[in-house]
Structure 1
Amino acid sequence: MKNHFLFCCLLLSFIGYSQKKTLQTKFISEKIEVDGNLDETIWQSAAVASDFIMFEPDNGKTIPENKKTEIRILYDNDAIYIGALMLDDNPEKILREITQRDNFGTSDVFGVFINGFNDGQQDFQFFVNAADGQADCITTDTNGEDYSWDAVWKSKAIITDKGWVVEMRIPYAALRFSGENKQTWGLNFFREIRRDRHKYTWNFIDSKLGTFTQQTGVLEGIENIKPPTRLFLLPYSSFYVNADARQKTYGTLKGGLDLKYGINDAFTLDMILIPDFGQTKYDDQILNLGPFEQQFNENRPFFTEGTDLFSKGNLVYSRRIGGVPTYKLNENESFTETPNVSLINAFKISGRTKDGLGVGILNAVTKKTPTSIYNGESGEIRNEIEPLANYNVLVLDQRFRKNSSVAFVNTNVTRNGSFRDGNVTALVWDLNTKKNTYNLAGDFKYSYINRAEDKKGINSQLNFSETSGKFRYGVGADITTKDFDNNDLGINFETNYYSLYGNTSYRILNPTKYFNSFNARINTYSQFQKETGKLQSGNIKFQINSNTKKNHYLGIGFDANPVETYDYYEPRTTDRYVIKPTKIGGFIYISTNYNNSFAIDFNPSYAVFDEAGRNSYGFSVGPRYRFNDRLSLNYNFNFFRQNNNKGYIDSINDDLNSATPNTIIFANRNVITYSNTLSGKYSLNSQMTFNIALRQYWSYAENKNALSLLQNGRLADFAGYTDNKNSSFYSWNADLSYSWWFAPGSQVSVLYRNNAGGFDRNINKEFTENITNLLNNDALSHVFSISVRYFIDYNQVKNKF
């Protein structure tokens, strides 16, 4: 009898976990004040969502009674309302660090996940932490969480003697759903008890499956809603004061307008009129000794918000739009004045129909920009023009069966006049089995460059993987032809190759005696030059990541290049290569529990090459201290040294009538890099925060002797080369800022910034003197700016008048 009873309990538990939970909501006409009290009587008549189940670490375990969680949802013609009551037997232990928006900090968190189409593809997620801070993001299984997306909504969190309470108002303008009279939405709730690192969801999310968004519950009961006109204006005004040693102090006043308009319930138009990106985060520039350009993060809000559709196929590198000119500087050249290609305007249209068709259109126009370039060797000045340019992206993404999609993508850049134009077209697919156990993904891309001589190329990849269970694996291949070029609006480093790769992994799904989580993974990668079949890259990596029972993160990894490979990129000359030696290396990663006031990250690494005296080693150490819930500081120091590194420095034309260099010069060099960063914040409350961000960087390459590249890819001593090709790059950036969200969607930002940088062939190894010279040189510039942005909802203005 006892066995039968146990079997029934297990069966009912399995059925409860595997089925989607349903919550009914109800229409209200009375006003709800978002104050965290839930004292309106209508709340008591709403259906309750409860019985939360652990997502991490002990997947499937029910929430204890003393942490019971109850959620209610109501709606009217303008918004939905969420009331969350979260019990805690130790309310005084609830972690509640005050942070700025989209940063959870060390705090308990409550979240609601909404999918207006109930298609298992994309969640709009809204979070409130116990310190009353907000965070929001768009989440897909393919791209994860995108916190650059920001919506305007209201919330309030308060701590009580029984736990904590959250009240939220999410307007329909912050969501996407079909225009049907009777709505059925995907829905889930999330709660993290931070001191235990326990995460729970209302509808069970089985960690054995490789999907998150498809394991939601269902919200029913929303009928005949009349969503308001989605028209939002964001006017702004900015004042800048600039000063440096080369020019007098001067002030600049700027103004502009951003616009968001809901074309219908599913599609939105975002437009920039007179853009201003003067307060975006600085770029972390490095000493780049390699053959490829440095890739920078996109920090401009317009190009980071809601870009899920535009990331299909990885074809868009939005830093191409505006900023630095596209033409390259030759040896010994520099800009006489730092150029800036201005953005005239930009817009994007994005959304998805009820049948799952996503449409994305992005368009931007940049200004014609003349530039003067100085040659330090000859003393000559040449003039260049960055022409007026139009950048366009079109995406059509069809979802089906709630877990798969096929997309068509086109990027196009048209430049005024006889300048180069670029066009890339791609077909992208992401196919999953019905039970989300296997995945087939890939793409086919075709590029066409229109210039004096047309250039056409293709790039394609195909990956197959098992995405569920403790043991998982994947295999794949890709190919890129010599003439594939998507660099007008994308970024691509390597061409003319094909590759094969695979991986296998093991993970625990529930905690063990020593670990909350444990993952071991092996990756292999082989790349071959397409025409000769020579091995360009051959690598195998083994890595373990784990989280201990005390929530310390530990990792260890090994990687090896077991055979010599042929590098066709470092020589910077067509059809030439340098042979790279075998290598073996490893690293350790330790990150102590961030719940503690003091925590530290430590990451040493070492690698040795099959070449006399050639090795590399380094470490990063990052202590952090949380003084209280308002004040915290994080410091990080990085050091990395490469001994007897071999790299390109020059090429010589022995035959003046030849366009191809006869002698390619490498250097045997030591490369040393230091960087120091400090970041911190002091939060007055969840709307007001002071921030500091400092970065000092110094890297130099000291050449020991010159080498010539032989036709067989080997290097030989080259005694006749005497030019100084040492490299030393140093930079300094400091940001002190104050941010105040004085109303929903409205912000005042005050920023003081100073920065400096420089490149030199002569290396000064005195660390302190180097920093002093950097901060005292003529290149140090200062900027003080104030920016005010005000969010205007057309409906609120209309109602007032």
Structure 2
Amino acid sequence: MQSSPNCKTQTVLSRAKKIKVLVLLVLSFTSVRAQEKKPIEKRVYTTKFLKDTTAPDIDGKLNDDAWNLVEWTGDFIEREPDENTPPTEQTKFKIVYDQKYLYFAFRCYDKDPKSIVKRLSRRDGFEGDWIEVNIDSYNDKRTGFSFTSSVSGVKGDEFISENGNNWDGSWNPIWILKTHIDEEGWTAEAKIPLSQLKFGNDKEQVWGLQVQRRFFRAEERSVWQRITQDAPGWVSEFGELRGLVNIEPQKQLEIQPFAVSQLKTYPKEAGNPFRDGNDTKINGGLDAKIGITNDLTLDLTINPDFGQVDADPAAIALDGFQIFFQERRPFFVENKNIFNYQFADGQDNLFYSRRIGRRPQGYPNTSSGEYVDIPDNTTILGAAKFSGKTKNGWSIGILESLTDKEFAKIDDNTNQREVLVEPMTNYLVARAQKDFNNRNSYIGGIFSATNRNLEGNQLNYLRKAAYTAGLDFMHNWKNRKYYVSGNIVASQVSGSKEAITRTQRELTHLFQRVDAGHVSVNENRTSLTGTGGKLEIGKSSVGNWRYFGFFSWRSPELELNDIGFLRQADDIKQIGILTHQTLKPRGAFRRINTRFEQMTTYDFDGNHNRTQYSLSSNANLKNNWFVSYQLEYKPRIFTNTVLQGGPRFRYSEEVINSFNLSTDSRKKIRFDSGLFSSQGKDNSFSYTEFNTGIAYRPINALTVSMYPTYSISKSKTQYVTQTNFGSTPRYIMADIDQRTLSASVRVDFNVNPNLTIQYYGEPFISRGRYKDFNRVTNPTADYFGDRIEVFNSGQISFDTTSDIYSVDEDLNGATDYTIANPNFAYVQFRSNLVLRWEYIPGSEIFLVWSQGTTGLGNPKADLFNSLDAQILGRKPENIFLIKATYRFLL
């Protein structure tokens, strides 16, 4: 006998209250018990100017007279795995400078030089033994420039932001590195142009400084300036570099022209004038970087080439929501931290750069016998970006871009015409932040504008203008032990009645929901205005325990998707998180991190939509294996979106288990495996994913890896479509069995640090089969079987010729409505073979061969057996590309 829904709800609420009380008690206890630690003394290194001494020759051997001007500094301390203990091997370094460059000398001792691991990789590979210097030339305690020297001579460089929480490897400065192995270990010399750094014009500079070494054989990290495992961040804890006197800020001026030649081949399509078997394209353009001041840089691009060497991963979303893809284009990636504005949680952001140059949003109306050719992307006529950070703590970023109008070509082999599918559009983003309170606090703002030049009524369904604005802040106190942060955003979109009506009906908003008491579609509106934001407070350092909680909201009319990313509006969320981390190795473990999380969500109609709890732990073993486990319980799951305009729908209670295991990444052979399992109450839905992988490095210059993934998704209430039974709406669902198989394959071969060959390939098949079609009857019932009514054999029939289901709901012998067969099979294969040669620092040649196929498969075919026939058996599309750049550093 089942208990009543009210009893169950009371039980869940009682459990939730007990858990919240327990968390509050733990937080109170840890707050009282936390001991204030004595601050760690800041180390100082004093460099000297190369006044009458010849600059060192960068050969990695440390035998130049210039190094005799300064003293060595060393006494490194271990940070990982056993913090504040002597490292296995010691390290020391020196720094000198002139008016143009900083020079670094590193001595990395090793009692067994023959065992030093010289692994080659592409730039930013960070393989084998390496030494790294971090420079906070702004001295803002939050950002820095990182230069990594691998013993094999491979360079790594990253821009550090968010006090070490974000390391951006897309930053590629010009600098010189050489290394050498001798009887004492290995040495490195680096020459870094001052033009690649940003600093003020004070007579005497004080910069933050940290040097870190990786001792590969023990997987050990040692540092010059001690930073504890429970420190509040990374950059804020640096030591100091002094002695920089009368250096002049270097106004950067770089010009990088490029030329691209491309040949595209594909299967010829009979009768289609746009698919004759091959296309060719030659393109050229110019990128420029101009230092307006040493702090602020103007980036310009003319006729940019935004081609991507790496393809987006294959994905399919049955819920209808847009899929977030990472930005890979260099112009947008550089200094992206300044423009970042994540205002709530997840991927929601006021600036999502992939909106610029997106695929055209329109599609022409065509007649029988007409063929269509639509550009893959919108042409970016030009873009400019003014960004940087001043010595006074101002972070400034302004980005302006203009995209051209795009036309679809339509041809019936007699006449050809063009139809506008994307209007000329201007995008503007302006961002500013100001540090104060000794860099412990900041306040900032952002503004964005999207304006489309809509012509006539061809694209009247697009919004004409979209504006967003936001304010954010953060404050740290008690030596950054505690913090509070928050933001608020506002948006306004405007356009024709058709465009704003369409916006109201989009999956992000769904104003047409039949049971919504707070929103409804108004077809006369020409604008929408919404708000959102977050307030967060927590403990971020000192001791084993950390915690934070936040409250966020997205109002129903909030709309960001013209130049930002917003998955869903109409949401109020509360989250509380408690974490525990070990600070010292314990037993068989190097480190263990444990996390408890509690979340509740509501909508603006007051509906309590979700409650969930999760407990997770990940551990690094002393043999350098990694293991993690997560348990998640969702006692309450309601969704406003699954019926896409229909009533609020309930899912059954859900329990999730996930487990992952990785072997030692330093070994020549590495294995990874994982299992993810989700189960709904009463077997109403389930999801299981198996992933595994192997990486093999037979020699230091070659790595081969393969990572296959197989998933099974089942649900007895998968949304299919909606229709009408007379004047009554019907929301149709079904029992789905979806199987997905994919496998990423990579081969990396490094001839030397400047010449690499990389291959990437990924076959992807997803097949879904539907059965037991049903209609929603009581969408919020406790038991899933009471939410739906399954059609019996007399009510539904299938016509194999038309591929359509006919439904006679009232069994009167007449068809009441039809359902198109939703079975699907989506297949895709993408691969890239790239040869990259950096023939001089900053200048490159790429040879690229991309191959791929995308299409619909056979839903009746077996998933594994059809891998060859549906992917490898298809004729692929090939792209052969040669790109050359030359970087002038003036």
- Give the TM-score normalised by the residue count of structure 1: 0.92
Picking from 377, 389, 397, the partner of 2:433 is 397
Shift of 1:277: 2.3
**Pairwise CA RMSD:** 2.3
Cα distance in 2 for partners of 1:454, 1:42 equals 67
Q: 2:534 matched to 1:461?
A: yes
Cα distance in 1 for partners of 2:724, 2:380 equals 40
Mapping 1:576-615, distance limit 5 Å: 576-612=647-683, 614-615=685-686
Whether contact under 8 Å (1:363, 1:391) holds in the other structure is yes
Partner of 1:42: 66
Whether contact under 8 Å (1:586, 1:607) holds in the other structure is yes
Q: 2:612 matched to 1:539?
A: yes
- Report Cα offsets for 1:574-623 as digits up to 9, x if no partner: x6222111111201110000111111001012222113463221210011
Mapping 1:340-351, distance limit 5 Å: 340-351=377-388
Shift of 1:465: 1.1
Letter of the 2:587 counterpart: K
Whether contact under 8 Å (1:694, 1:733) holds in the other structure is yes
- Report Cα offsets for 1:511-549 as digits up to 9, x if no partner: 112111101111111111221x22322221111100011
Letter of the 2:383 counterpart: A
User: 3-state SS of the aligned residue for 1:308?
Assistant: helix
Picking from 864, 874, 880, the partner of 1:777 is 874
User: 3-state SS of the aligned residue for 2:682?
Assistant: coil
Cα distance in 2 for partners of 1:229, 1:18 equals 36
Partner of 1:550: 623
Partner of 1:309: 338
Shift of 1:302: 1.1
Picking from 262, 275, 278, the partner of 2:307 is 278
Whether contact under 8 Å (1:286, 1:729) holds in the other structure is no
Shift of 1:384: 4.8
Whether contact under 8 Å (1:312, 1:407) holds in the other structure is no
Whether contact under 8 Å (1:370, 1:384) holds in the other structure is yes
Letter of the 1:196 counterpart: A
Shift of 1:646: 2.7
Q: Is the alpha carbon distance of 1:677 and 1:204 closer, same or farther for their aligned partners in structure 2, counting shifts above 3 Å? A: same
Picking from 350, 353, 357, the partner of 1:322 is 357
Unaligned runs of 5+ in 1: 1-13, 375-380, 795-801
Partner of 2:494: 450
Shift of 1:705: 2.3
Q: 2:644 matched to 1:572?
A: yes
Cα distance in 2 for partners of 1:405, 1:226 equals 28
Picking from 790, 793, 799, the partner of 2:889 is 793
Whether contact under 8 Å (1:576, 1:711) holds in the other structure is no
Letter of the 2:657 counterpart: G
Letter of the 2:481 counterpart: T
Shift of 1:145: 0.6
- Report Cα offsets for 1:535-581 as digits up to 9, x if no partner: 32222111110001111001111111123x221111111x6222111
User: 3-state SS of the aligned residue for 1:608?
Assistant: strand
Worse overlay, 632-641 or 430-439: 430-439
Q: Is the alpha carbon distance of 1:493 and 1:382 closer, same or farther for their aligned partners in structure 2, counting shifts above 3 Å? A: farther
Worse overlay, 429-438 or 686-695: 429-438
- Report Cα offsets for 1:131-169 as digits up to 9, x if no partner: 110011111236411111111111111222211111001
Whether contact under 8 Å (1:236, 1:788) holds in the other structure is yes
Q: 2:702 matched to 1:634?
A: no
Whether contact under 8 Å (2:77, 2:224) holds in the other structure is yes
Q: Is the alpha carbon distance of 1:102 and 1:494 closer, same or farther for their aligned partners in structure 2, counting shifts above 3 Å? A: same
Shift of 1:315: 1.5
Whether contact under 8 Å (2:298, 2:387) holds in the other structure is yes
Whether contact under 8 Å (1:22, 1:218) holds in the other structure is yes
Cα distance in 2 for partners of 1:335, 1:158 equals 62
User: 3-state SS of the aligned residue for 2:235?
Assistant: coil
Q: 2:141 matched to 1:120?
A: yes
Letter of the 2:693 counterpart: G
Q: Is the alpha carbon distance of 1:696 and 1:356 closer, same or farther for their aligned partners in structure 2, counting shifts above 3 Å? A: same
Shift of 1:439: 1.5
Q: 2:561 matched to 1:470?
A: no
User: 3-state SS of the aligned residue for 1:611?
Assistant: helix
Mapping 1:397-796, distance limit 5 Å: 397-400=433-436, 401-417=438-454, 419-452=463-496, 453-468=526-541, 469-531=543-605, 533-563=606-636, 565-573=637-645, 576-612=647-683, 614-654=685-725, 662-710=729-777, 712-713=779-780, 714-718=787-791, 719=796, 720=807, 721-759=818-856, 762-765=859-862, 767-777=864-874, 780-794=876-890
Shift of 1:291: 2.6
Cα distance in 2 for partners of 1:409, 1:328 equals 33
Whether contact under 8 Å (1:23, 1:48) holds in the other structure is no
Cα distance in 2 for partners of 1:545, 1:373 equals 56
Partner of 1:98: 120
Cα distance in 2 for partners of 1:146, 1:479 equals 29
Letter of the 1:544 counterpart: S
Whether contact under 8 Å (1:121, 1:403) holds in the other structure is no
Cα distance in 2 for partners of 1:89, 1:262 equals 46
Letter of the 2:643 counterpart: P
Shift of 1:654: 4.6
Shift of 1:442: 1.6
Percent identity, aligned pairs only? 24
Q: 2:171 matched to 1:149?
A: yes
Shift of 1:239: 1.1
Q: Is the alpha carbon distance of 1:403 and 1:156 closer, same or farther for their aligned partners in structure 2, counting shifts above 3 Å? A: farther
Cα distance in 2 for partners of 1:91, 1:654 equals 80
Partner of 1:799: none
Whether contact under 8 Å (2:374, 2:407) holds in the other structure is no
Partner of 1:139: 160
Q: How many residue pairs align between the two structures?
A: 762
Cα distance in 2 for partners of 1:772, 1:761 equals 10
Q: Is the alpha carbon distance of 1:762 and 1:515 closer, same or farther for their aligned partners in structure 2, counting shifts above 3 Å? A: closer
